[in-house]
Each structure stands twice: as C-alpha cells, then as structure tokens.
A and B are shown apart, each in its own frame.
Chain A
Amino acid sequence: MSESTAASAARNRWSRLLALPTLAAVLATAAANSAVVQLPTALKNFDDRATFNSSQSAVGREIAGADAMDIDNVFLEKALELLPSNTTYAIRQPQSIAVAKSYGISPTTYNALPGFVQNVLLPRRQVDPDAARYLLCYACDTDPYDKRMRRLWQDPHGLVIGELTR
C-alpha cells in the first residue's frame, strides 16, 4: 500500500468514526447530564432568592443595592420620604476617605454614595449646595449650612437631612 493510500485510508477511518452519530450523542448527552446535575442547585438558588425578594418591602427593593455598598438604609428611606419628587438636593460627605474612615465609613461607601443616592432619588436632581433645596449630609461638616438649614431628620452617627433656605 502506498503512503498516500494509507493516509487516505486513515483519513477515511477518522471520517467514518466522526460521521457516526456516536460522537454527537456523547456530546449531547454530556450537555444534558451537565444540565441535570446543575438542576437541584439552580432551583434551590432561585427559591432562596425569590424568598428573600418577597421578604423585602417595596422601599427595601428600591434600595436593594445599599447593603452591598454598606450605605445606611434608614438614611435612604428618610430621604425618599422627606424630599418631594420635583426638588433639588445636595449630598455632602466627609472631606476625604481618611476622615470618612474615622466615622466608620468605608472607602467603598464613600465612593459609591453620590451615585447610588442619585439613582434612588431620581427624579429629584442632585445639584451643588448653593442651588439645592435640601441637604443630605452623610457624616459631613454641617457648619457651612447650619444657618440656613432646618433639620428634618438626624441620627447619632452624623447623618442629617435638612431643608435649605436661600
């Protein structure tokens, strides 16, 4: 048998082997098997998440990402409750991450807070304090605003929500 004929025969053998439905069946069975093995875990995960979701209040679901960012839930709930939907507000934090740490505020919280609050409070517009009707103070220095601010809510950790007068 010549070399080329042998190569051709080998190629045909491979071709016949691969043409058999066996390989397709094996691969399809592997996919099905993988799905069946994963099924109980997936159903349990879905059930856990659905149970958790249904245990939350409507406001709790609205601020659902706050826990991951370690943002105070009551602060957000009070802001939603006290600020009218067509108003403007400013959010203020400690001057730096180092100062924030001294209040027990993590860098993650510090960096995420303005964006997270902006999303939760829309359509209320986040603006500079000079143009704002309300101030949301997350352990900020309230001295510059105290003269023109009426405190609506505060907690012992330095979180304040106030109405600003012009």
Chain B
Amino acid sequence: MARSLAGLCAAQALFLVAGLGVLWALRGWRTWADVFRLAGVAYLVGVALVAVEATLVLVAGARIGTPFVVALSLGSAAVGAAVALLRRRPAPRGLGLERPRFEPSSLAALSGALITAVVLAAFFRTARLQGNVAYDAWAFWVPKAKAIYFFGGLDEQLFRTLPGPSYPLLVPALQAMDFHLMGSADTATLAVQYWFLLVGFVLAMWGLLRPLVPAVLIWPFLALVTLMPELDKRMLNAQADWPLDIFFAIAALCLACWLTTREPWLLGCYALLLAAVMATKREGQLLTACVVAAGLAATWRSARSAWLWIVGLAALAYAVNLPWRIWWTSRHLLPDTPDSGVGKLSATASRVAPAFRIVLELLFSYDLWLVATPIAVAAAVAVVFRREYGLATLYLMTSALAVVGFTWILWSIPSLPLDTSQLTPIPRAVGSVVLLSIVFAPLLLSRLRAGEPAGPMTSGRGEQIMAATWEESISGARASWRRWRLP
C-alpha cells in the first residue's frame, strides 16, 4: 500500500513538472512565489498534456510502461524549457514573497483557507483506502485501464466486450500510468488520484483568480466546493465525470481571465485543457461547443482579434482527439452519441419539458451542490445590470447552452427515466456547470465590488488590495499581446 501511494505521488510530481515546463514556455516565471501561485494550473495542465499524449501513443499502437511515463512527462517539461529558453522567457528570480497585510477581510479569507485545508485532509483519509464501488468504474473505466496496464496497449478484443467501448481514452490512460508508477493495479489507492485532481482544481482556481479577485471572495467558494455533498460522495468513484468537470471549469476560467487581462498564456492553457475535456468524456465535445459559443458572444466587440483564437484553439484541441475517433470507427465499435435520430426526437417531444425541468432541478439542488449556482447566477445578473457584459455573458451563456445540451441528452435517450435518480447521467453531468459557477462566482462578485461600472475587457478597478500586482500584470500582458497580435 505504501509502495502504491509513493508511486502515485511520484506520478503526480511528474505531471507537475511537465506542467511547470509548459507554463514556463507559455508565460515565463517572475519569482518562486509566481511558481507557487500557479502550481495548481501547472499540475492540471501537466495531467492534461501527458494524458492526452498517452492516448495518442496508445492509439498509435505503442505500449506504455513506467519508463514511458517518466520520459513523456520529463520530455514534455524539457520541450517546454527549450521553448522558454528560445523565447527568452524569464526563469524565477527570488522568492517574491510579499509581507502579508492583516485586515478583517484577511481573517475571513484565512478561515476559508483553514476550512478548505481541514476538509481536504479529511478527504485524503477517505481516499487513501477507497474501494472501487461505482458501476461505470468497474464496468469499463477501470477494466480499460487494467487492460492497458496488463496487456501494454489498447486491447480491441476486451474493449469490444465492455460497455462504452468508444468512450474517450484519457481516464483509462491516466489510471494505467498510475498503475505503472504504483507497481500494481491497486484500485483502492487509485482514489487518491482523484483527490489530487481536486487539490489541483482548488489551487488552480486560487492561482488564476488571485491577481484579479481579493482572497476574501475566493476562499468561501473554495471551501464550498470541497464541501458540496455530491462532490464528496462521488469524487473518489474512479469515473470520468469529475476530471471532465475540473478540466472544463479551469479551461473556462482561463478564457474568462483572458477576456479580462488578454494575457496570451491563458489561451495556451485553455487549448490544452479543452483537449483534455474532449479526451475525457463524450460530453466534453458538448461542453466545449458551449464555452466556445459563449466565448464568441462575450467577445463580439473584439471579434477580429478574439474569435480566431477562441475557435482556432478549440478546433486544434478537437483535432488532437481525432486519432482515437479514427481508431474506434475503423474497428466498428459502438458509436458514442445518443441513439435517436431527428425523427425519433420529434416522436419523443413530450420528454422535452420534463427533461428540462429535471436538469434545472438537479442543477439548483441545495442537497447536491449547496448554493454555488444560485450565487453565481445572481452575481452574473447583477453584473449585467451594471452593463458589464463580457464575463457575465461567458458564464450565463455557457451554462444556458449546457443546460440545453443536457436536456437534449435526457430527451434523446428514451430508455433513460425522467427522474432525478442516478439512473441517468444528468446528476453527474450538471456537476460541470456547478464547478463553472464556483470558478466564476468570485470573479463576478469582484466586479460588483468595483465602485462604478467598467467597460468590457478591463478589470482591476476597485481592487485596491491588488493594485500594484494588477498594474504589473496589465503592462506585461500589453507587451505580450503586442507580440502575439494577429496580423
């Protein structure tokens, strides 16, 4: 058991190193405090990159083993470092720590941080020895990972016998890499991988928001996310839902931060995480379409400079997933979309209204998610009243389109019961919108704290606490933006 845990931790360290290399190439590092602040983003980007690369290698017919995982992670980091050196990205200099300023709001933020830390520690105790109990996990996610681990690559014969044979490959590839580093297919320790993803999410959200939002607005939501009953209940289930939701929420947050600061490195993270979103679950394509459409609407005033990036990078992220689609279609595995044609949809039109109601009911359920979504929606509506449309449009439109998409899923599969039970994928699917709400809520609330309405594409007004950092990042972003601007 200790060997398994050590191996799993080593795998996470490799993913982190890969991500740090990528971020060095994308943005450079000013100080070690800068590295620490973005360690969560680096970790998630590292997981996304290495796991997506692993899916490509598997599709190409290669075997993966421990040397492969080490080489892939360190190779990704080395390529990132080489690009960083070529582009003269700065390496971290000095600690860069600031003297903490204690105010009443600091105490509130500290309380939130303490609660988050306590909950994550308790969560780890549970994750440490968690058996594999969820149906989807033992029916196909983990068997696929075990097959990759034991047989070296994609076992067409086995995949054909499993439910969801054409489901995307990122989670089995990630679990198989974990097994290799652990030295065995220890499914009980595998739950710790999901704990690391949650910690990565918390740190990534904090790191991305910290320059833009006061800590007192961030930590309540970080505490909230670790305490959401449905997340606590299902995070360790070794399924693909929560990895999908985490990649999606942080990808959308990168886009939101880019709308605010126009720092180009955020688009790099957005693209890498979207590639992981689509490589994790079939719903990933739906969620990507939602965030891209909302991104286009949110940037309609600067369409010329923004749309090509938003659409082009999403298309690139989709292209990375094409080899897997070619692999399973060429082997005539069962497709990964709902089975109803347009004709059948009209025949089951009576399901639309109840399906829509169920999606909303699940999304706003206090028993499942506490108050994350209502708060984010209220904040977004208030921001719209202040005539700031960019961030609010991105959040509201992504959420609304996702709700429509989930309604379509429930509507288009007549075998799914029209209720809120776990027999449908909807209770898990709405988790993506809930995490989206969690990451957007502090950002939207910070806009309300500003003294007067601000135009789109500006930020930081009213954020006295972070004024100095803000000025620095804006001037850096402007300089970077001039270099990256499209012809």
Q: A residues engaging B (CB < 8 A)?
A: 14-15, 18-21, 23-24, 27-32, 34-36, 38-39, 41-43, 45-47, 49-50, 53-54, 56, 58, 60-65, 68, 112, 115-116, 118-120, 122-123, 125-126
Cβ contacts under 8 Å, B446 to chain A = 24
A58-B188 in contact given A35-B220, A38-B370, A118-B161 (Cβ < 8 Å) = yes
Residue pair A43, B386 in contact (C-beta under 8 Å): no
Residue pair A34, B122 in contact (C-beta under 8 Å): no
Residue pair A31, B371 in contact (C-beta under 8 Å): yes
Please pick, from A15, A27, A62, the residue contacting B445 in the complex, using a CB distance under 8 A.
Answer: A27
A123-B224 in contact given A24-B379, A27-B375, A27-B379 (Cβ < 8 Å) = no
Q: Is B227 an interface residue (CB 8 A)?
A: yes
Among B69-77, B357-365, B407-415, B449-457, the stretch in contact with A: B449-457
A50-B441 in contact given A24-B446, A62-B187 (Cβ < 8 Å) = no
Name 15 extra pairs, CB < 8 A, besides A19-B451, A39-B115.
A18-B386, A27-B375, A27-B378, A34-B224, A35-B220, A42-B226, A45-B232, A47-B122, A49-B126, A49-B130, A53-B130, A54-B129, A65-B134, A115-B162, A122-B150
Q: Is B185 an interface residue (CB 8 A)?
A: yes
Residue pair B185, A122 in contact (C-beta under 8 Å): yes
Considering the complex, give the chain B residue whose CB is closest to the CB of A115: B139
Cβ contacts under 8 Å, B119 to chain A = 39, 42-43, 46
Q: Which 10 A-B pairs have the closest CB atoms?
A: A64-B131, A123-B150, A32-B220, A53-B129, A46-B122, A24-B448, A50-B125, A61-B188, A35-B223, A61-B131
CB distance from A103 to the nearest CB of B (A): 23
Residue pair A115, B150 in contact (C-beta under 8 Å): no
Please pick, from A19, A35, A63, the residue contacting B370 in the complex, using a CB distance under 8 A.
Answer: A35
Cα–Cα, bound, A122→B226 (Å): 34
Cα–Cα, bound, A54→B138 (Å): 21
Please pick, from A19, A30, A54, the residue contacting B386 in the complex, using a CB distance under 8 A.
Answer: A19
Cβ contacts under 8 Å, B379 to chain A = 23-24, 27
A46-B453 in contact given A27-B379, A28-B220 (Cβ < 8 Å) = no
Cα–Cα, bound, A34→B222 (Å): 12
Q: Is B108 an interface residue (CB 8 A)?
A: yes
Residue pair A28, B138 in contact (C-beta under 8 Å): no
A19-B448 in contact given A47-B122, A53-B129 (Cβ < 8 Å) = yes
Residue pair A24, B133 in contact (C-beta under 8 Å): no
Contact residues of B between 100 and 156, Cβ < 8 Å to A: 108, 111-112, 115, 118-119, 122-123, 125-126, 128-135, 137-139, 142-143, 146-147, 150-151
Q: Is B278 an interface residue (CB 8 A)?
A: no
Cβ contacts under 8 Å, A14 to chain B = 385
Cα–Cα, bound, A14→B108 (Å): 28
Q: Is B229 an interface residue (CB 8 A)?
A: yes
A42-B129 in contact given A21-B448, A115-B163, A122-B150 (Cβ < 8 Å) = no
CB distance from A44 to the nearest CB of B (A): 10
Interface size of B by Cβ–Cβ distance < 8 Å? 66
24 A-B pairs whose Cβ atoms sit less than 8 Å apart in the complex: A15-B386, A18-B382, A18-B386, A19-B386, A20-B448, A24-B449, A28-B216, A28-B220, A31-B220, A35-B220, A36-B115, A39-B115, A42-B227, A42-B229, A45-B232, A53-B188, A58-B188, A61-B188, A64-B188, A65-B134, A115-B162, A118-B161, A119-B146, A122-B143
Cα–Cα, bound, A39→B445 (Å): 23
Please pick, from A42, A61, A65, A123, the residue contacting B138 in the complex, using a CB distance under 8 A.
Answer: A65
Q: Is B430 an interface residue (CB 8 A)?
A: no
A50-B138 in contact given A42-B227, A64-B132, A115-B163 (Cβ < 8 Å) = no
Q: Is the interface of B mostly helix, strand, loop or mixed?
A: helix
Q: Is B221 an interface residue (CB 8 A)?
A: yes
Cα–Cα, bound, A12→B188 (Å): 58
Interface centre among B132, B137, B226, B442 (most CB of A within 10 A): B132
Residue pair A35, B128 in contact (C-beta under 8 Å): no
Cα–Cα, bound, A46→B134 (Å): 17
A53-B139 in contact given A35-B115, A39-B115 (Cβ < 8 Å) = no
A30-B375 in contact given A14-B385, A18-B382 (Cβ < 8 Å) = yes
Residue pair A31, B138 in contact (C-beta under 8 Å): no
Interface centre among A20, A35, A41, A112 (most CB of B within 10 A): A35
Cβ contacts under 8 Å, B135 to chain A = 65, 112
Cα–Cα, bound, A38→B224 (Å): 9
A62-B188 in contact given A42-B232, A46-B232, A50-B128 (Cβ < 8 Å) = yes
Residue pair B147, A122 in contact (C-beta under 8 Å): yes
Q: Is B39 an interface residue (CB 8 A)?
A: no
Cα–Cα, bound, A105→B231 (Å): 33
A23-B146 in contact given A28-B216, A39-B115, A53-B128 (Cβ < 8 Å) = no
CB distance from A67 to the nearest CB of B (A): 8
Cβ contacts under 8 Å, A24 to chain B = 217, 379, 445-446, 448-449
CB distance from A122 to the nearest CB of B (A): 4
CB distance from B144 to the nearest CB of A (A): 10
Residue pair B385, A18 in contact (C-beta under 8 Å): yes
Considering the complex, give the chain A residue whose CB is closest to the CB of B129: A53
Contact residues of B between 448 and 485, Cβ < 8 Å to A: 448-453
Considering the complex, give the chain B residue whose CB is closest to the CB of A37: B370
Q: Is B372 an interface residue (CB 8 A)?
A: yes
Cα–Cα, bound, A32→B215 (Å): 13
Cβ contacts under 8 Å, B232 to chain A = 42, 45-46
Residue pair B131, A15 in contact (C-beta under 8 Å): no
CB distance from B333 to the nearest CB of A (A): 17
Interface centre among A18, A28, A38, A53 (most CB of B within 10 A): A28
